[in-house]
């Protein structure tokens, strides 16, 4: 029996409400044993060549290709996603990430020759990328397969053992059991702990060498506080409230389709989904009219289809119970404060099957304008000038993603630079996430650190800096004993080298003096 009070005990289908299975009941001793296994695995992983680690990761890619339907079935059962959402952002993306890192890892993780300043002439400088040890990955429920696999394989490629605590809403327990059995992936190199929040917190207290956290700002702060107590380094990939700015020179048809996808894909359960839309006044009525008309045509999992998520469904279900309540609260708050409901709204209280909802006439005191909704809602605002649009878009505690739509690419770049966010697109939205070569992450309340890209490997490394020097009889200028003569040489070197203009002859004279004193001097 568990001696921990885990926060959720059952996993339900958001589509049918049916209980799928119970969460595992971890006690402290179970968690210690998992952490010990990871620590025992770590030297084995570290001793493997990168090529051997890449071969292990490739087994996951082969597994994904061979078991696509089983994977989709499990993801859809626990999240309620539409099939295309599940396929594109979990199955396809994992294949792409693995394919890219198979090519990128050898270059990024190779020992690097570094430059040295003239004062260290004769020495060599290197940077070695070594594993940190055991990495703990904590993940949310919106992309439960992708968010577990991607940071885990990056940490593994860098030579670490990994312990993952997936969301208690979507642990995908049957999928992990099948994957680790059937793929042939190195046993226990990545261990998945299908427990609740308390299991996550207790694992952190067992001092992994790094915590990589993806989730809400609220939990991110708790994780950082726990890590701070023991100086465990932590990456925080947190929430967002992405703005998207549409200027009046756009191709309206394409931009409407792009914005609609950016707002409603994955039923809006995206950290970088568009939640705030700023449209220039001169095209406002036409643009918003088309956006609303097209949004009304989207096929949702509601109503009458709520026992299954059809293959052709555009908008799947909302995964977590508490998220349904939060989205409803934001919709009610907006209506009560005078927002204009253009489509959607609450059709059936408490239902996980929600209709895409668009408001305009929104004001800054509404939750849809300021707090992360994480659902299929879009708040629209009108702007006149570029400056006004930038000011409105930046008026947020979040800084995850954003986008600018315009035919004038110079203006697009100017506005993209002015947005205080970690990820930005011009004439698209959140597609940065589909490029594993790009680092991803937020600023302000949206997080600390970068994930994917080269940084996504380096974040799991001890970047060891190395100086190599041959044995000799030289006593260096800055070593003991300190003498008046050495002080004068140091002064001469400093002023001749850094002064303007640089004085090479005095510099070389002082360098030679330093060398000859060093060879003669004995303490």
210 within 8 A of 204, measured Cβ to Cβ? no
Q: Which of 135, 271, 326, 369 binds ligand NAD (CB under 6 A)?
A: 271
Q: How far apart are CA 335 and CA 307, in angstroms?
A: 29
- Is residue 271 annotated as part of the catalytic site, yes or no? yes
Q: How far apart are CA 56 and CA 45, in angstroms?
A: 11
Beta bridge partners of 244: 277, 403
For position 507 contacting ligand NAD by CB under 6 A, the verdict is no
Token pair listed for 118 = 């003239």
User: Residues in the chain, how many?
Assistant: 523
Q: How far apart are CA 209 and CA 163, in angstroms?
A: 11
159 within 8 A of 131, measured Cβ to Cβ? yes
Shortest distance, position 400 Cβ to ligand NAD, whole Å: 6
Shortest distance, position 447 Cβ to ligand NAD, whole Å: 6
User: Residue 401 or residue 492: which is nearer to ligand NAD going by CB?
Assistant: 401
Contacts of ligand NAD in 340-379 (CB under 6 A): 372, 374
Q: Which of 62, 68, 222, 513 binds ligand NAD (CB under 6 A)?
A: 222
User: Residue 166 or residue 262: which is nearer to ligand NAD going by CB?
Assistant: 166
For position 219 contacting ligand NAD by CB under 6 A, the verdict is yes
Sign of CA dihedral 161, 224, 197, 94: negative
User: Residue 240 or residue 436: which is nearer to ligand NAD going by CB?
Assistant: 240
Catalytic residue among 90, 93, 227, 271: 271
Catalytic residue among 168, 237, 328, 372: 237
- Is residue 194 annotated as part of the catalytic site, yes or no? no
For position 139 contacting ligand NAD by CB under 6 A, the verdict is yes
Q: How far apart are CA 278 and CA 402, in angstroms?
A: 11
Token pair listed for 319 = 């995964």
Shortest distance, position 317 Cβ to ligand NAD, whole Å: 15
Q: Which of 30, 93, 168, 360 binds ligand NAD (CB under 6 A)?
A: 168
Q: Which helix (H) or strand (E) holds 278?
A: strand 274-280
- Which residues lie closer than 8 Å to 55 by C-beta, 6 or more apart? none
Shortest distance, position 222 Cβ to ligand NAD, whole Å: 4
For position 85 contacting ligand NAD by CB under 6 A, the verdict is no
Cα of 232 vs its chain's centroid, Å: 18
Q: What DSSP letter does each residue of 366-387 carry, written as one string?
A: SHHHHS---SSEEEEEEESSHH
DSSP H stretches of helix in 297-373: 321-336, 367-370
User: Residue 258 or residue 456: which is nearer to ligand NAD going by CB?
Assistant: 456
For position 172 contacting ligand NAD by CB under 6 A, the verdict is no
Q: How many residues bind ligand NAD (CB under 6 A)?
A: 28
For position 142 contacting ligand NAD by CB under 6 A, the verdict is yes
Q: Active-site positions?
A: 237, 271
The residue ranges that bind ligand NAD (CB under 6 A) are 138-142, 165-168, 197, 200-201, 214-216, 219, 222-223, 237-240, 271, 372, 374, 400, 442, 447
């Amino acid at each position: 029996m568990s001696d921990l009070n885990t926060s959720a005990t059952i996993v339900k289908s958001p589509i049918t409400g049916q209980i799928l299975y119970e969460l595992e009941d971890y006690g402290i001793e179970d968690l210690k044993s998992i952490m010990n296994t990871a620590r025992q695995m770590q030297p084995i992983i570290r001793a493997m060549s990168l090529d051997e680690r890449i071969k292990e990761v490739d087994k996951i890619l082969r597994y994904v290709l061979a078991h696509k339907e089983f994977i989709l079935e499990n993801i859809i059962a626990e999240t309620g996603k539409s099939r295309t959402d599940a396929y594109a952002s979990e199955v396809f993306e994992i294949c792409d990430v693995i394919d890219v890192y198979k090519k990128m890892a050898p270059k990024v993780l190779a020992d690097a020759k570094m430059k040295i300043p003239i004062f260290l002439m004769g020495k060599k400088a290197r940077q070695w990328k070594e594993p940190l040890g055991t990495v703990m990955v904590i993940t949310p429920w919106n992309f439960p397969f992708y968010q577990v696999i991607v940071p885990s394989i990056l940490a593994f490629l860098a030579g670490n053992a990994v312990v993952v605590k997936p969301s208690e809403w979507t642990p995908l327990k049957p999928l992990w059991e099948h994957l680790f059995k059937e793929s042939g992936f190195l046993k226990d190199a990545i261990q998945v702990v299908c427990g609740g929040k308390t299991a996550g917190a207790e694992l952190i207290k067992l001092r992994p060498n790094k915590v990589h956290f993806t989730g809400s700002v609220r939990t991110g702060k708790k994780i950082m506080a726990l890590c701070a107590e023991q100086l465990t380094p932590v990456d925080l990939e947190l929430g967002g409230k992405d703005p998207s700015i549409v200027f009046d020179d756009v191709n309206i048809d394409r931009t409407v389709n792009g914005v609609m996808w950016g707002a409603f894909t994955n039923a809006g359960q995206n950290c970088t989904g568009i939640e705030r839309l700023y449209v220039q006044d001169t095209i406002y009525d036409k643009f918003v009219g088309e956006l609303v008309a097209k949004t009304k045509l989207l096929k949702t999992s509601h109503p009458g289809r709520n026992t299954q998520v059809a293959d052709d469904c555009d908008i799947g279900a909302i995964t977590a119970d508490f998220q349904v309540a939060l989205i409803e609260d934001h919709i009610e708050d907006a209506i009560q404060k005078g927002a204009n409901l253009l489509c959607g709204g609450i059709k059936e209280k408490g239902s996980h099957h929600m209709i895409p909802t668009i408001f305009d006439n929104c004001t800054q005191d509404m939750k849809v304008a300021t707090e992360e909704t994480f659902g299929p809602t879009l708040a629209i605002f009108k702007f006149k000038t570029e400056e006004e649009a930038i000011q409105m878009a930046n008026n947020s505690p979040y800084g995850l993603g954003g986008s600018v739509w315009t035919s004038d690419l110079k203006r697009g770049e100017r506005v993209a630079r002015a947005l205080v966010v970690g990820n930005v697109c011009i004439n698209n939205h959140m597609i940065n996430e589909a490029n594993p070569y790009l680092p991803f992450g937020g600023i302000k309340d949206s997080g600390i650190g970068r994930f994917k890209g080269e940084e996504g490997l380096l974040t799991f490394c001890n970047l060891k800096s190395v100086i190599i020097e041959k044995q000799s009889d030289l006593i260096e200028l800055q070593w003991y004993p300190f003498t008046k003569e050495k002080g004068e040489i140091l002064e001469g070197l400093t002023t001749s080298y850094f002064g303007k203009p640089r004085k090479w002859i005095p510099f070389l004279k002082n360098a030679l003096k330093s060398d000859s004193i060093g060879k003669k001097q004995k303490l």
